């Protein structure tokens, strides 16, 4: 099974577990690019990344969809921005963990967020991952930049109207 198929299956599983198996996700029908963002997010963090006992992709997408739905009364543009902001906020959680991957040679290497984790695993023929909390988190702003660059084209981020300064100070629960 290739990585794209695995990510698509993971997105479907996440949506199903969040209660969206019976109908389309409003965020994705209103803004089809948001489904692509969700897909790219899972590809960036992988379907296996667990932070504080929660699957990061699943929790983040569930929260992003809920944020979208909760702010619809304020307009589609606001909801679009809230969806992207919730994804961006996951950078705080990512910056607090160190993901090491073991290759077939038995050596471990640390994922540096420079490329999506799924691509890193495939390119380096890695077979096992280890997730540990960092003693000192890396700068979440740096991780957020890497994350946003990986999940969405610049034009779509511009359309979202993100306030990057406030995003840099956002707590992971927002």
pLDDT band at 110 (very low <50, low <70, confident <90, very high): very high
Phi, psi of 100 (to 5 degrees): -110, 145
Counts for the chain of helices (H) and strands (E), in that order: 9, 5
Residue 131: count of CB within 10 angstroms of its CB: 14
| CA pair distance 15, 149, nearest whole angstrom | 24
Per the CB < 8 A criterion, the answer to whether 48 and 79 are in contact is no
Mark residue 25 as left, alpha or beta (left: phi above 0; alpha: psi -120 to 50; beta: remaining): beta
pTM of the model: 0.88
Average pLDDT score over residue span 111-120: 92
Average pLDDT score over residue span 143-165: 88
pLDDT, tens digit (0-9, with 9 covering 90-100), for 67-109: 999 999 999 999 999 999 999 999 999 999 999 998 878 888 9
Residue 1: count of CB within 10 angstroms of its CB: 6
Q: Is 127 helix (H, G, I), strand (E, B) or coil?
A: strand
| CA pair distance 51, 59, nearest whole angstrom | 10
Looking at every residue in the chain, the average pLDDT score rounds to 87
Q: Do the strands 97-103 and 54-55 form a parallel or antiparallel pair, or are they unpaired?
A: unpaired
Residue that is written with structure tokens 């930049």 in the block = 145
pLDDT, tens digit (0-9, with 9 covering 90-100), for 27-41: 998 999 999 999 999
Domain ranges of the chain: 3-153
Average pLDDT score over residue span 37-48: 92
Average pLDDT score over residue span 9-28: 78
Per-residue confidence (pLDDT) for residue 151, from 0 to 100: 94
Mark residue 125 as left, alpha or beta (left: phi above 0; alpha: psi -120 to 50; beta: remaining): left
- Six-digit token string for 116: 């999506």
Per-residue confidence (pLDDT) for residue 7, from 0 to 100: 80
| CA pair distance 18, 4, nearest whole angstrom | 21
């Amino acid at each position: 099974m290739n990585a794209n198929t695995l990510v698509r299956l993971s997105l479907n599983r996440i949506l199903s577990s969040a209660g969206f198996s019976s109908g389309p996700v409003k965020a994705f029908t209103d803004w089809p690019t948001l489904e692509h963002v969700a897909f790219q997010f899972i590809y960036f963090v992988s379907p296996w990344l667990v932070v504080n006992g929660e699957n990061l992709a699943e929790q983040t997408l569930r929260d992003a969809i809920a944020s979208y739905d909760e702010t619809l009364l304020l307009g589609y543009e606001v909801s679009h921005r809230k969806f992207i902001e919730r994804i961006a906020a996951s950078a705080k959680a990512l910056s607090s963990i160190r993901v090491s991957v073991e290759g077939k040679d038995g050596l471990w290497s640390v994922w540096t967020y420079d490329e999506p984790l799924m691509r890193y695993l495939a390119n380096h023929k890695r077979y096992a991952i280890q997730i540990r909390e960092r003693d000192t988190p890396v700068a979440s702003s740096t991780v957020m930049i890497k994350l946003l660059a990986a999940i969405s084209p610049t034009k779509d981020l511009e359309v979202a109207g993100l306030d990057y300064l406030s995003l840099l100070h956002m707590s992971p629960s927002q």
